[in-house]
Every structure is written in structure tokens, then in C-alpha cells.
Amino acid sequence: MNDATERPPRGIRLLHALQKDPDWPSITAEELAVVSVKANRKAGSRLLRVVTGFPDRGATIAWQEVTLPDRVVGVRVYRPSSGGDAALPLVLHVHGGGFVGTASQCDWGNSHLAARLPAVVVSVEHRLLTEDTALADALDDAWDVLRHLVSHAAEWGIDPARIVVAGESTGGLIAALAAIRAKASGLRLRAQVLVNPAADLTATMHDYPSMAKYADSPTLNTPRLQLFHRLAVPPGTDPRTVSPLYADDLSDLAPALVVVPTLDPLADQGRRYAERLLESGTPARLSEHPGATHAFITMPGLVPQAKAARAEITEFLRNRLTEPQSAQGITTKARVR
């Protein structure tokens, strides 16, 4: 790989130079809460859309609430602006960030999917990681919202036979775990899209070459990953239960598109998960984007590769949602781009 593709895009480097990371190893719970609120307010602001991208005008966007038996979960809903009364496919989306992050940071990509597939995209404003909230809680939010939507498909205007899950980073990890749960519960998904996903939260999490090579990546570094791991897997938790790479059975899952930016400490985890899916007989496609950094698909204003990734995701989902369910089980080779 040449030097040009080994360097993050200029806009990412400039943004990183202008920002100062908190002291992640010593940050207190109170300080983390303040950081999270500020980061999410900025990520969801109209001003930052020069970075996060402008929503597709062919989609409407609105916050709604999903009332579950024991809690209420906020969701950001994207629908095509025009169309009839026919039930549409559902894209259950999970945003990234871990201990920060909000559904509105993904307006660019999700509004495009809603308008172009077309589909109803529901992005889950799941609980963020704290000293009292583990990854399992965020996973429950996504899974319980998905079950609610399937059970109330007519109310939401969705077709329960055409459902996919998608997510980035922590959201990609949650989407992968949701796909595993779906098979166990008998829910047939059409596809799963995992963008720069974490896949291994066990003791081997930092043993991948990309973890060492990109330890100081401007969009995800080792101190931040260490805090994420500490919050995601509290003492006494078996990390294999939230590590798709260590799932006992990955066969017969929904076909997967695994999108990997090459300048990412998590790149090798995504690659290995795509390999494991294929080894288990689950259709999987690996798509690599040279020169892109972690979280690149939420920053199209700074990372030009985001547009190509979005186009590929749209095409992949369109194909999966339109072909007969019986054709979903054909294993495909991993593809590197």
C-alpha cells in the first residue's frame, strides 16, 4: 500500500489537530456524561452537516418513541417522502460511539437508504455505555425495539418479511449480535450490514496487527478503545457473550456486507469476522476502503470514500430485499475493493 493511502484524509487530520481528546484513562463518570452530551449535541447539529453530510431530500426524518414493557426507547425514523400505502422493508439501524453517539449523526446515510431503497429506517437511540450501563443493555435496546417493530408491523408500515439490520462501530457489533439472536429466535433477516464493526471484546481484543499499527488513529485510538472495553464488559461478565467472533454457531445467518476502512484499529476484527461467517457457510462480502478511517461513513464531508461505501450498501440491500427469500442462502466469496 502506498504512502498516500496510509495517511488519513486531509480533513480528518485537520479536524484532529483542532480537537483535544479527553484523558480517557482517568475520566470520571461525571466528566464522561458531560463529554457525551457535548459530543452528541455537536454531532446532531445542522452546522456540523458540512462534516456529517446533508440528509437526502427524498426522505422525512422524525424522532419517535417505542414503548416497551419496562422502558421507553427513542428512535429516529426515516421514511421516503413519496409513496403509497404499501408496506416497506425495515432497516433497523444502530449508531456507533459506545459511550457517546446519537442516531442523528447518521442522518446522511439513513435518509439516503430510506429514499433510495425505498425503506423505513429506524435508528435506535440506545443507552450509552456508562459505569452502570454495559453493552448488553444497549444490545437489549436494539433487540427489543426490533421485536416491537415486527410485532406492530402494520402500525409502522413495514413488511415483516423484509427486515435487515445495520450499524457502524459499536452499532455494527450490536447489529451482528442481533443477527445471531434473530436466528436463535426464528426471525429471518434478509441481510446485515456491519461497518467498521468491533467483533472481539475478549482478552485477545488488542492482539490484532491493525490494533498496533493504527493505535493512534485520529478517529479511534487505544485509550478510547480501552475505556470502551472497560465499560462494555464489566467485571464478572463473560466477554464472549458480546463478541460475535466467539459465537458458537455462525451458520445460517443473514447474508452480510462487512465494510472495513483500512486505517482503522478495528480493521482486522472486521476482516476476521467476514472470514468466520464464510467458514460457517453464511454468505458474506468484505469491502475494504483504502485510506479511510474509522467512522468514515458518518463523515462524508471529510472522507470521500464514504460515498462509495454508501452506494455499495444501498445496492447490496436493494438486491437482498428484492430477491426471493429462498435465494438468500447462496454463499458468496469475500470481495476486497
Secondary structure in 3-state letters for the chain: CCHHHHCCCHHHHHHHHHCCCCCHHHCCHHHHHHHHHHHHHHHCCCCCHHHHCCCCCCEEEEEEEEECCCCEEEEEEEEECCCCCCCEEEEEEECCCCCCCCHHHHHHHHHHHHHHCCCEEEEECCCCCECCECHHHHHHHHHHHHHHHHHCHHHHCEEEEEEEEEEECHHHHHHHHHHHHHHHHCCCCCEEEEECCCCCCCCCCCCCHHHHHCCECCCCEHHHHHHHHHHHCCCCCCHHHHCHHHCCCCCCCCCEEEEEEEECCCHHHHHHHHHHHHHCCCCEEEEEEEEEECCHHHCCCCCCHHHHHHHHHHHHHHHHHHCCHHHCCCCCCCCCC
Closest CA to 196 of 174, 173, 216, 178: 173
Closest CA to 253 of 165, 138, 123: 165
Question: Is 252 a residue of the active site?
Answer: no
Question: Is 264 a residue of the active site?
Answer: yes
Question: Is 294 a residue of the active site?
Answer: yes
Catalytic residue of the set 36, 111, 169, 287 = 169
Dihedral sign of CA atoms 318, 120, 187, 123 in order: positive
Catalytic residue of the set 104, 264, 268, 289 = 264
26, HSE (Cβ side, Cα atoms, 13 Å): 1
Catalytic residue IDs: 169, 264, 294
